Amino acid sequence: MLQVESLAVRFSRPGTATVQAVDPPLNFAVHRGETVGLAGPSGAGKTVTALAILGLLPTGAAASGAVLWRGLNLLSSSESLLRTLRGREIALIPQDPMSALHPFYQVHRQVAEAVRAHQRDITRSDALDMARLLLDRVGIPRFHGHDGGYPFQWSGGMLQRALIAMAIAHGPALIIADEPTTALDATTRIEILRLLRSVQESTGSSILLITHDRDVMTAMADRVVSIGRVPPPASAHYAATAGSEQSAGEVLRVVDLAVHYSGAGGSGAGGHVRAVDGVSLHINGGETFAIVGESGCGKSTLARTLVGLERPIRGTISIEGQNLVGATRTALRDRRRRIQIVFQDSASALNPRRKVGPCIAEPLHIHGCYRGKGGPAQVAALLELVGLAPYHADRYPHQLSGGERQRVAIARAIALQPAIVVLDEPFTALDWGARDDLLVVLRRLQTEFHTALLLIAHDLQLVRQIAARTAVMRDGKFVEQGETAALFAKPSHDYTRALVAGSLADQTVRQPLHLDHRR
Amino acid sequence: GDRTTESRPDTLVAAIESDPGQLNPAITTSGGVHTVADLLYNGLVGLDEHQRPVPELARSWTVDEDGRLYRFHLQTGVRWHDGRPFTAADVVYSFNEVLLNFHARTRASLRAVLLSVDAVDDSTVEFHFRQPYSPFLQQLNVVEAPILPRHLYAGRDPQTSRHNIAPVGTGPFRFVSYAPDAEIRYARNPNYFGGPPAIAAVIFRVIPDPTAQVLALEAGQVDWLFGVPAAQQKRLRGNPRVRMRQTTIGSGGTNCMVTLAFNLDRAAFTDVRIRRAIAHAIDRNAILERIQFGSGRVPLAPISSRIPLATAPGLQLPVYDTALSARLLEQAGWPRGQVLDLKLLPSFRAYAELIRAQLRAVGIDARLQLLEQAVFVHDVFDRRDFDMAMISYCNGTDPQIGVRRQYVSSSIGAVPFSNAAGYRNAEMDSLFDVAGRLVEPADRQRTYLHIQQLAVRDLPYIWLLESEATQAHLVRCAGFAFGAHFAATARCR
Amino acid sequence: MGAMGLLALSAPLLAPADPFALVGAALDPPSLHHLMGTDILGRDLLSGVLYGARTSLVVAGITGALAFIIGTGTGLVAGYAGGWTDDVLMRLAEIVQVLPRFFFAVLAVALFGPGLDRIILALAITSWPGLARVVRAEVLALRTQDFVRAAEAAGASHTRIVMRELLPGVLSPAFVMIGLLLGQVLLLEASLGFLGLGDPNLASWGALISQGQPFLLVAWWLPLFPGLAITLTVLGMNLLVDAFSGSVPT
Amino acid sequence: MMRYLVRRLLLVPLTVMAIVTISFIMIHAAPGDPVLALAGEHGDRAYYEFMRERFGFDDPLPTRFVTYASRVLRGDFGNSYVQGRSAAALIAERVPATLLLTASALVLGALVSIPLGLWTARRAGGRWDGFVNFFALTLYSMPLFWVGQMAVVVFAARMGWLPVEGIATAGSDATGIHRVTDLLQHLALPAVVLASHEIAVLTRLVRSGVAQELGRDHVRMARASGLSERVILLRHALPRPMLTVVTVVGTRIGQLFAGALVVEIVFGWPGMGRLLLSALQARDAPILLAFFFLVSCSVVIANLVADVIYAAIDPRIRYG
Ligand SMILES: Nc1ncnc2c1ncn2[C@@H]1O[C@H](COP(=O)(O)OP(=O)(O)OP(=O)(O)O)[C@@H](O)[C@H]1O
Ligand SMILES: Nc1ncnc2c1ncn2[C@@H]1O[C@H](COP(=O)(O)OP(=O)(O)OP(=O)(O)O)[C@@H](O)[C@H]1O
Ligand SMILES: [Mg+2]
Ligand SMILES: [Mg+2]
């Protein structure tokens, strides 16, 4: 069916350096009824390859090599010919469902529009009926909602289904599915994969599945074509003995802390959002304490409150015996030196308009610890400590990778040698390499500086490796806390048990997907 | 369609600069209103080309009690445009209720000296004066004293009457329509007592931009311009289809003289040598040639040469002599480079810039201050806060109307365009009183000669230019009269 | 625009003559001796345009600076403080922004006399709201960024956060607005001149055009060259802003 | 959504009253004595006292403001000092001409800028795109009155294609189609000149808006489902930029009026512009205040209408 021979794509824009999007040249084929996976890390060129096949590359992009479709080279065929193929013979399920539909038009009308694209003769109302049939087919109950159903009113999962409906409108021979599951949560992810499998069986079309998620790939693809740098296996050599360094006094004690947001907050559900609802914990010097929990359980709110960025309605936060809550401005300023924070999103953690050097030196200036001539040496030492070179001091944040930016944020946090550093999900935005470097830095903080770490994370594997004690948080409360190893070995609270069980790493998707047509 | 006026030969299209706003000439002295409205009305006594009184609504008149009683015999059979007869009652009403209250010039000059206005019978009106008042006959034309229809205005506020935009007069043309800021149309008054005009209709087009007016004339879309800017005159002179003529008679003011006033209260000007030095430093011929391109006259005397009564043979105004000027300044101990401020209205900008350049040559630094009308009048006449000021004094048809206010000490203060210099001279005051009472022209001329000699000696002002308006019209029309009823005698083909 | 700016500053040196001095015959067409010809009084138009450049750029510059200070200040405070201060300042900005700027300037100048200071004040007062809204929007976006929170966590005072963290981020959109404003101020000053409301004591471009206007047919160079000077300078500014920001918001 | 609209509606009277109050204070606090500018030059002291008393210039400012405000609430804007007629009537007579001019400039602006914007957006970055962008910027940099004067000299005087000034041929009482053609001939030049700035602004807006839309995912999805380029341009790429055009036009009403004032003077167009200018010179307060009232009302309402249209078209705001 589809034969791709030494495909390479180059982006050359005036004023920017040319980017080799697909390099080395790509060769693969897709046979009738087969599901071929296209795997690779983010930025490897998966989406660009899909666009090259459909001839939808943006201006300034040049594709070389050949894309043979039933013997016809698509790269050199005319726009009008390609238009007859798109949607009818080769269909695309785009990467981000939330922005793939026009916000101003109702979803079913856009599906109808795709139907009429290749069937000029049918009337508008017939097209709408066909659209409703397709939406039923992909499992969206009877034309969801009567208020017209605009894209922004539908969840990511439902939009993904609508896009699939558009793709299969004309029974295409090949469906290119670009990251169909990335934006979805665990449960919907499985349903979408089952839907794709049922579509394939009923229409006999072949699928080119693009994803960087190894588990989805193993579950769906008959054959996998890999593209770009293969990620190294999860580095295991950090099974070092966690929590061995007990050190002297207690650094942080939190008693019955509560933080509420007034109704106008994100959920808009009116009334109060009890983000943190009676949390107590204590951390000793040099110890690493982890907090895990589902998204929205209040982890970040707790972190922000500990460093004085949110005002709790009750409870005390005492750092080295001095209470932070209710302290006067000057007292607050001094106590804050003892506890610092590293935020979740490394992209917005650093001021884009200031170089790395001055950015790290900022806390020193605020507290007057910047020793004039000796300043640059202080900054160089901090950079070196987090595994960066002194020349990084002259770079702007956008000239660093995500991982490097995260480590500059840490350098800034430890500039004042705080007793404890709060890290809010430092690993999520990083790819494998950067995670390993970050782990090295955290280990050095523990061993060389005896800095206590409060680590907020999703990835239970990492927590098990680095944290001495762990707390599980749900709806603003600690459901359970204790020794990490013991906690994960035999969780006493059923929510913890589900959490440990729920992590995808263990569950095998490869059980046969019994697709029923109930819906 | 053909946009030129040839397409309607018997219609005269005249361009005006601004929309008059309303068409009642009796309640205002504004040139904009009079230029348009005067064609609809009449005064008791008109003025010919040489400003001599000629019969209009008054067929004849007699002056008794040595100048204290004027008796006018009205034309008979004169009808208002709406058909009602014109009677003496209209004249009495117009003076007592309207002119003496709202017409600034007539009110300023007559209210103090006029005892009463009475209608002896339907066709005779008598004016009784407290003392002899010689210039009266010069103040009765349609510009100074238009007569309104009593039957339409009596009992109503003349400033807000409906008839101000749907006027009924006795004049050579009658009102047809008024489209604000666009067009005002008149038609011929077939039974005008002075004989129906040759033209069937007159249309006033509002064209604010002077350049656009000239372009419209050249394109044949307009027949008549009331004023052609100096710069455009050279261009029109070469155009065979256009005729131009000069006149000093304007609906806003007649026989106007551009003067430079010294504020005599200021220390700088107490020494007459300084004032004389400044006079010698200014080249008035350069003003005439460079700014007015020759349109106008360099004054030879303080009073406009267009007023016969004021001819002053043998009078010598300071001549342009920079050496003499510098010497005088030195003698008077003038600190070189001292700054004097010169306040003026924006329309005199070119004059002021030329004078500034000429004064700079003799070491006087004049700083210009262009002021908006209300601020200029307030600064110069109310607060007298100025060193020098440029003012255009319209001398009018009789020195008592337009010249007296410049020199008599009683008019210093809140009255605008009065004695800006602040000139106080008892002899001058008494001379003007005498001139007002004298009846014989020869006696009045001798008095005015003496007045002008005093003025040249004391030099409260410098008389820069007798300004003239340059009117222009297409050759297809001819026979235009001078003054308010310019279209009454014209004919077009 | 840079070139025009340079010309303006060096006007006193370059100008062949004092713009007010009578150097040649009246209404002399452009010649080698007078590159842009002479005006009604025989003054050299080229030196008038050069001196005019300085006046006009001074008006635009000061107006821009004033509008920048008021606008950025208000935007920073409103964006950072939030709550009722934000509401009050923004309502005020809204009222001033709705004020018809040109008519307000015309009214102010016509009533209080055509001084340079009044023109600048009138234009500045009515120009700052647009900038305030842009700056406020930028501050609201920046406030949610973590580096602002990090500074707060590090104990920085409010003023330090505003000046060191927020202000740098706000400068580029502010300069785009100011670049636009400079162009509009020049055009406004010229229009005021056309209506006869320009400052007479200064050879500004607006005054030159309004004086040259009646000579359109007789001496085409009088209104042409000052108009060209304005167009080129404003174009320069707009191009600079366009390159700088990618797209010129109106 | 409704709460937002109600709040905006409440703001309208507040803003308008604020503007009228500011202008009232400015007019009456200005130096110089208005009666002098108003009542001509040749009166005597008694004449000015008489006029000052008639127009109530002597009573203190606050009382004059209260009387003025109370009368405005009853819809009476007072009489023009100079012309004695009701200020509202004087302005109402001239509104149609100005409205005709500004409306035709806007329509012309839209008709030219939308196709031009679409055309350059598809060639974004190309030679033509650069040229049109430069041309639009040049148009936007030229003073309107200067362009107007040049246009009059070249097109009306030299070429004689179009009339030099005015809204209709002198004295013509043509009716029906002739009157319309005559009017259009007079309207052509001033409308084009006034539209020049609108065309410049709107073309660049449409161009950058559509170019941005074409890069969006939903356009790529539309192409992937085989829709024709024309449908993609009109149904997918144009709607959102059109929204920004609507809001920008809403905010530019004030500038459009300012441009109209200048163009009216150059072309002798019988609109409100000239009435304002003469009222300024004569310090005719009732006309000035009525004028500011009208302009600020229209600017505020234009902004409101633009926001309502924006909310009506973008469902996220309607159901937000
Ligand atoms: N329009 C563009 N202009 C310039 N570079 C581009 C453009 N689109 C993509 N690229 C570059 O091409 C490379 C591949 O991008 P692509 O989106 O195909 O990656 P991907 O494999 O789909 O990654 P992801 O998993 O995030 O979807 C990236 O480095 C990206 O920077
Ligand atoms: N500024 C705010 N205003 C109102 N509600 C908020 C605010 N910030 C957080 N919330 C709500 O408080 C709850 C906890 O949010 P928080 O960000 O602390 O969760 P989290 O555990 O960090 O989630 P994630 O894992 O996604 O980071 C959520 O329901 C969130 O919607
Ligand atoms: Mg991708
Ligand atoms: Mg979080």
CA distance A308 to A328: 12
CA distance A104 to A107: 9
Query: Which chain C residues have a beta carbon less than 8 Å from that of D154?
Result: none
CA distance B153 to B163: 8
Nearest CA to ligand 2 atom 30: A296
Ligand nearest to the Cα of A44, by number:
1
Mean pLDDT by 10 residues, chain B (493 residues): 74 91 89 92 91 93 90 95 95 94 86 92 94 90 94 90 93 93 92 93 89 87 90 85 90 89 92 94 92 90 90 90 93 86 89 90 87 81 92 89 88 82 94 88 92 94 93 94 90 89
- Reading the block at residue C237, the tokens are 């500014």
Does residue D135 sit in helix, strand or coil? helix
User: Model's pTM, two decimal places?
Assistant: 0.79
Q: Are the CB atoms for A473 and A301 separated by under 8 Å?
A: no
**Strand B388-394 relative to strand B339-344, pairing:** parallel
Interface of D with B in 115-154 (CB under 8 A): 149, 152-153
Report how far apart, in Å, the C-alpha atoms of B302 and of each of B352, B404, C91, C249 are: 20, 11, 61, 62
Q: Are the CB atoms for C177 and C75 separated by under 8 Å?
A: no
Which ranges of chain D have pLDDT less than 70? 1, 32, 37-42, 319-320
Is 80 exceeded by the pLDDT of residue A25? yes
Q: From start to end of C23-110, where are the E strands?
A: none
Write out pLDDT tens, residues A281-299. 999 888 899 998 877 788 8
Q: What is the pLDDT of residue B385?
A: 93
Does B contact A via 3+ CB–CB distances below 8 Å? no
Q: What is the pLDDT of residue A268?
A: 39
Query: What percentage of chain A reaches a pLDDT higher than 90?
Result: 21
Write out pLDDT tens, residues C9-21. 555 555 556 666 7
Phi and psi based region of residue A308 (left: phi greater than 0; alpha: psi -120 to 50; beta: remaining)? left
CA distance B488 to B116: 33
Binary contact (B211, C41; C-beta < 8 A): no
**Is residue D21 within 8 angstroms of chain C, CB to CB?**
no
Ligand nearest to the Cα of A212, by number:
1
Write the residue in D41, D85, D268 that is nearest to B416 by C-beta.
Answer: D41
Query: Which ligand 2 atom lies nearest to the CA of residue A298?
Result: 18
- In chain D, the residue whose alpha carbon lies closest to the alpha carbon of C249 is D205
Write the residue in D164, D171, D181 that is nearest to B11 by C-beta.
Answer: D171
Query: Which ligand 2 atom lies nearest to the CA of residue A473?
Result: 21
Q: Considering only CA atoms, which of D294, D218, D219 is closest in space to residue D261?
A: D294
Q: Considering only CA atoms, which of D310, D297, D312, D257 is closest in space to residue D11?
A: D297
Q: Are the CB atoms for D196 and D104 separated by under 8 Å?
A: no
For residue B262, list its beta bridge partners. B388
Chain centroid to CA B186: 24
Confidence of residue A236 (pLDDT cuts 50, 70, 90): very low
Kindly state if the Cβ of A19 falls inside 6 Å of ligand 1.
yes
Is 50 exceeded by the pLDDT of residue A246? no
Kindly state if the Cβ of A161 falls inside 6 Å of ligand 1.
no
User: Residue for token digits 């029109």?
Assistant: B236
Ligand nearest to the Cα of A8, by number:
1
Touching B: which chains, 3+ CB pairs < 8 A? C, D
The residue of A306, A338, A362, A405 whose CB has the most chain C CBs within 10 angstroms, and thus the best one to mutate to test that interface, is A362
- DSSP code, position B83: S
Nearest CA to ligand 1 atom 28: A43
Report how far apart, in Å, the C-alpha atoms of A88 and of each of A54, A76, A84, A515, B389 are: 12, 19, 7, 25, 87
How many H helices and E strands in chain A?
Answer: 16, 19
- Reading the block at residue A117, the tokens are 């694209």
Give me the long-range contacts of A229-232 (CB less than 8 A, separation at least 24).
A229/A40, A229/A41, A229/A44, A231/A41, A231/A431, A231/A432, A232/A432, A232/A433
Q: Are the CB atoms for D188 and D182 separated by under 8 Å?
A: no
- Reading the block at residue B79, the tokens are 């009808």
User: Residue for token digits 């005088």?
Assistant: B328
Which segment, B88-92, B212-216, C59-63, C164-168, is predicted with the most confidence on average?
B88-92
Q: Are the CB atoms for A131 and A105 separated by under 8 Å?
A: no
Altogether, the residues listed in chain C come to a count of 250
Mean pLDDT of A452-461: 85
**Is residue B160 within 8 angstroms of chain D, CB to CB?**
yes
CA distance C198 to C213: 14
Tell which one of A260, A299, A344 to mutate to probe ligand 2, the residue whose CB is within 8 A of the most ligand atoms. A299
Rounded distance from Cα A360 to ligand 2 centre (Å)? 28
Write the residue in D217, D227, D313 that is nearest to A96 by C-beta.
Answer: D217
CA distance B278 to B355: 10
| Crossing angle (nearest 10°) for helices C221-245 and C2-9 | 130
Chain centroid to CA B74: 27
Query: Which ligand 2 atom lies nearest to the CA of residue A304?
Result: 18
| Crossing angle (nearest 10°) for helices B426-437 and B441-458 | 160
The count of C-alpha atoms lying within 13 angstroms of the C-alpha of A130, restricted to the half-sphere facing its C-beta, is 20
Q: Are the CB atoms for A193 and A216 separated by under 8 Å?
A: yes
CA distance A309 to C152: 7
CA distance D33 to D36: 6
Ligand nearest to the Cα of A49, by number:
1
Q: Are the CB atoms for B13 and B5 separated by under 8 Å?
A: yes
- DSSP code, position D86: B
**Is residue C20 within 8 angstroms of chain B, CB to CB?**
yes
CA distance C114 to C103: 14
Report how far apart, in Å, the C-alpha atoms of B228 and of each of B183, B288, B289 are: 20, 16, 16
Phi and psi based region of residue B205 (left: phi greater than 0; alpha: psi -120 to 50; beta: remaining)? beta
Kindly state if the Cβ of A265 falls inside 6 Å of ligand 2.
yes
Query: Which chain B residues have a beta carbon less than 8 Å from that of D176?
Result: none
Q: What is the pLDDT of residue B249?
A: 86
- Reading the block at residue D89, the tokens are 């009537």
Chain centroid to CA B90: 26
The complex scores an ipTM of 0.76
Is 60 exceeded by the pLDDT of residue A515? no
Q: What is the pLDDT of residue C74?
A: 93
Kindly state if the Cβ of A295 falls inside 6 Å of ligand 2.
yes
Ligand nearest to the Cα of A473, by number:
2
Phi and psi based region of residue C20 (left: phi greater than 0; alpha: psi -120 to 50; beta: remaining)? alpha
Confidence of residue A267 (pLDDT cuts 50, 70, 90): very low
Cα C138–Cα C140–Cα C143 angle in degrees, nearest 5: 105
How many cross-chain Cβ pairs, A to C, lie less than 8 Å apart? 58
Q: What is the pLDDT of residue B371?
A: 81
User: Residue for token digits 């300012």?
Assistant: D258
Confidence of residue A240 (pLDDT cuts 50, 70, 90): very low
Q: Considering only CA atoms, which of C128, C236, C121 is closest in space to residue C174?
A: C128
Report how far apart, in Å, the C-alpha atoms of B174 and of each of B45, B145, B187, D170 are: 20, 18, 5, 18
**Is residue A362 within 8 angstroms of chain C, CB to CB?**
yes
How many cross-chain Cβ pairs, B to D, lie less than 8 Å apart? 179
Rounded distance from Cα A387 to ligand 1 centre (Å)? 28
Query: Which chain C residues have a beta carbon less than 8 Å from that of A366?
Result: 151, 154-156, 160
Distance from CA of D11 to the nearest CA of A (A): 24
Q: What is the pLDDT of residue A281?
A: 93
Hey, what amino acid is at A146? H
Q: What is the pLDDT of residue A207?
A: 93
Mean pLDDT of C10-37: 71
- Reading the block at residue A417, the tokens are 């040698």
Q: What is the pLDDT of residue A512?
A: 35
Cα A373–Cα A375–Cα A378 angle in degrees, nearest 5: 135
Interface of D with B in 205-264 (CB under 8 A): none
Q: Are the CB atoms for A94 and A182 separated by under 8 Å?
A: no
Hey, what amino acid is at A264? A
Is 50 exceeded by the pLDDT of residue A518? no
Q: Which residue has the higher pLDDT, B46 or A272?
A: B46
- Reading the block at residue A87, the tokens are 């949607």
Distance from CA of D114 to the nearest CA of A (A): 20
Q: Are the CB atoms for A408 and A397 separated by under 8 Å?
A: yes
Query: Which chain C residues have a beta carbon less than 8 Å from that of D153?
Result: 216-217
Binary contact (A103, D124; C-beta < 8 A): no
Write out pLDDT tens, residues C95-154. 787 777 788 888 887 777 777 788 888 888 888 888 888 888 888 888 878 899 899 988
Q: What is the pLDDT of residue A156?
A: 77
CA distance A17 to A19: 6
For residue B73, list its beta bridge partners. B60, B124
C29 phi/psi in degrees, rounded to 5: -60, 165
Touching A: which chains, 3+ CB pairs < 8 A? C, D
Is 80 exceeded by the pLDDT of residue C23? no
Q: Are the CB atoms for A212 and A39 separated by under 8 Å?
A: yes
Distance from CA of A401 to the nearest CA of D (A): 26
CA distance A31 to A1: 5
Q: What is the pLDDT of residue D320?
A: 54
Chain centroid to CA A349: 17
Q: Are the CB atoms for C53 and C112 separated by under 8 Å?
A: no
Kindly state if the Cβ of A45 falls inside 6 Å of ligand 1.
yes
Binary contact (D218, A100; C-beta < 8 A): yes
- Reading the block at residue D215, the tokens are 């890069």
Interface of D with A in 177-216 (CB under 8 A): 215-216
CA distance A366 to C152: 10
Q: What is the pLDDT of residue C112?
A: 77
Write out pLDDT tens, residues A52-92. 999 998 877 888 899 999 888 998 889 889 999 998 999 99
Q: What is the pLDDT of residue A42?
A: 66
Phi and psi based region of residue A99 (left: phi greater than 0; alpha: psi -120 to 50; beta: remaining)? alpha
Write out pLDDT tens, residues A292-335. 887 778 888 999 999 988 889 999 999 988 888 888 888 888 88
Alpha helix segments (H runs only) across chain D: 2-29, 34-38, 45-54, 61-73, 87-122, 127-141, 144-151, 176-214, 217-224, 229-231, 239-267, 272-281, 285-313, 315-318
The residue of C38, C202, C217 whose CB has the most chain B CBs within 10 angstroms, and thus the best one to mutate to test that interface, is C217
For residue A112, list its beta bridge partners. none
Kindly state if the Cβ of A297 falls inside 6 Å of ligand 2.
yes
For residue A69, list its beta bridge partners. A2, A72
- Reading the block at residue D147, the tokens are 């362009």
Phi and psi based region of residue A466 (left: phi greater than 0; alpha: psi -120 to 50; beta: remaining)? alpha
Tell which one of A7, A9, A11, A12 to mutate to probe ligand 1, the residue whose CB is within 8 A of the most ligand atoms. A11
What residues pack around ion ligand 4 (CB closer than 5 A)? A 300
Mean pLDDT of A380-397: 87
CA distance D178 to D176: 6
